[in-house]
Chains A and B, each alone.
Chain A
Amino acid sequence: MSVIYTENISFRYTDKPVLENISFNVDRPCLLAVIGPNGSGKTTLLKMLDGTLFPETGRALVCGKDTRRFSRREMARLVAMVPQEVPPVFPFVAEEIVLMGRFPHQGHRLFEDKKDYRIVYDAMEKTDALPFARRRFSELSAGERQRVLIARALAQEPEILLLDESTVYLDLKHQAQFLSLIRALTRDRGLTVVFVTHDINLAAQNADQILLLYNGKKYAIGTPADVLTAKNIKEVYDVQVGIDLNPHNGSPRLTLFA
């Protein structure tokens, strides 16, 4: 059973198709990077995978089940998404935000129990969010907020983690920490991570698979070495790049010729 299986997904918000006939599958837990130019449908594709949107034609299966057949609660226990940006309205503190990640596990209980608090503590420790656990979410920096939202997603204890540009606001140290965290979770706990990013070198170094989108279509999918060729990048992004191997880890490395 594939973790993620999509079959001919198409979708449009208005007349213009955003996704066209996308099929791919993820057979076992791994890190899948989704790259592509602006407006190529990356975020929309993520929304197909957690049932925020449903494909117009085709279907998306998560752990063998069509996304249309999930209740919201079931879905939230299986798939967690870290969104790009959430404008805060009312003054919640960081810990309260992370506690909300426990909602899908709580049934009709009105208050958290010890286990919830333990899981939330662990999640915040992993993303280094404990130092500001009791500060207001609205007063945090963009990077700190991102770490809170990642912790909330971890508190959902999902099997699939969707990340929408989650590393953009993180400083170098927290970027490194976060990447090694998701790699460890993939290796040890069988977490599947699908992350949208514009940082192709980051994708090249960390992803097991890369999905390259172009105008809503699947342009290529495969290992970083397969997908990241100068020819592919030239056609999709319309830029000249040089590609060599990173001497530290052997992954493809892009140099932008500007």
Chain B
Amino acid sequence: MKVYHRVTLLRVLTISALLFLFLVVVCLAALSLGAVHTGLCEIQAALQGLLAGEAPNQILFSVRLPRILFAGIVGASLSMAGVVFQALLRNPLADPYVLGVSGGSALGAIAGIVVGAGSFFAGVPFLAFCGAILTVLLVFVVAGGPRGVFMDNSLLLAGVVVNSFFSAAILFSLSVVDSPQLRSISFWLMGDLSGAAWRDIAVSFVCLTAVFTVLYSQARRLNLLVQGEETASRLGLNTKGAKYVMLTAASFLTAVAVSLAGIIGFVGMMVPHMMRLVWGSDHRLLLPAAALFGAAFLITADTLARTLLAPAELPVGVITALCGAPYFIFLMRRRGGR
């Protein structure tokens, strides 16, 4: 039996530090792996050289490092969004992809590119955000039973339907519109982390940190909401207000991830679930753990995507779906058996 530990500030900090260490190790491994293998000593030498003002190693610092950081940010965003969606819908199968929020976000981004919103600052991500929010509302309307009770099945069905509609709409717009700015089909349907620019990384990191801060201040409220809305309200929570804050935050994270990296599925479902198994359900611990582990998780998946068939590359969403879909089925069956 798992031993229960009280969630204290000290425990949260300790576990976060441990997971951060793990993340650093994963980053180093990912740095060294690739079409051209780079040993740890070489990485160290390159780092020292960089500090000494020498010209940076192209492969390490212009190709791999930005991509790794980017994967980390996207992975953390998707995992945190997953934590929030799972809590609010009280369903461990929920995730931005499964619910169709990623799809809606992608469609918003594509619409933005097609109408030329890219010429405004953050025009495309803003429309991606609108797409995400609208999808969240849609899923809530379709799946929400009377008095805000979500039945497992209707939720998943709503997600399936919304998802296939968005995939079709994405394929349709990509074949009809011929815009040089539109990226490949696989970017929008399966995710791709190769196009990482330093500016995107900086902006998305700031977004991630800001949203994390907001969500963390709501961590206890998430714990209450998981008990059901009526219970949460009885324990003194203004559930409506809290829900809006959290859904907006989760949609925002999804939009950031999707507009920069396309649709990457199942990360937001698997990571929170694994972390819950190991560390328990308290969101004060779950949020940072999911963010850090989610980062490491997507970095690993992306490293596999670019090394498995090197020099060819797979879309990273292929890797996450290949492990995510069976995981999903496993989870579903286990819940059914309970």
A residues touching B (Cβ–Cβ < 8 Å)? 50, 52, 71-77, 80-81, 83, 86-87, 89-93, 95-97, 100-101, 103-104, 106, 108, 110-111, 117, 134, 152, 156
Contact = CB atoms under 8 A, between A and B. Distances in A.
A89 B236 contact: no
A95 B226 contact: no
B9 interface: yes
A110 B236 contact: no
Given A80-B234, A93-B4, 18 more contacts: A71-B238, A72-B233, A73-B236, A75-B236, A76-B234, A76-B235, A86-B227, A89-B90, A90-B87, A91-B280, A92-B282, A93-B280, A95-B4, A96-B281, A100-B223, A100-B227, A106-B220, A111-B8
Interface of B: 3-4, 6-9, 87, 90-92, 216-217, 219-220, 223-224, 226-228, 230-231, 233-239, 276, 280-282, 284
B238 A72 contact: yes
Given A86-B228, A90-B92, A103-B220, A111 B236 contact: no
Contacts of A81: 234
B246 to A, nearest CB: 16
A89 B226 contact: yes
A52 B147 CA distance: 12
29 contacts: A72-B233, A72-B238, A73-B236, A73-B237, A73-B238, A76-B234, A81-B234, A83-B234, A86-B227, A87-B228, A89-B91, A90-B90, A90-B92, A90-B226, A92-B282, A95-B6, A96-B280, A96-B281, A100-B223, A100-B227, A103-B235, A103-B236, A104-B236, A106-B220, A110-B216, A110-B217, A111-B9, A117-B6, A152-B235
Contacts of A74: 236
Given A91-B280, A92-B280, A93-B280, A52 B230 contact: yes
A90 B6 CA distance: 16
Contact of A86 (B92, B216, B217, B231): B231
A73 B228 CA distance: 16
Residue among A91, A95, A101 with max Cβ neighbours from chain B (10 Å) = A91
Contacts of B8: 111
A203 to B, nearest CB: 24
B229 to A, nearest CB: 10
A50 B6 CA distance: 30
B236 A52 contact: no
A92 B228 CA distance: 13
A156 B216 CA distance: 23
B243 to A, nearest CB: 13
Contacts of B282: 92, 96
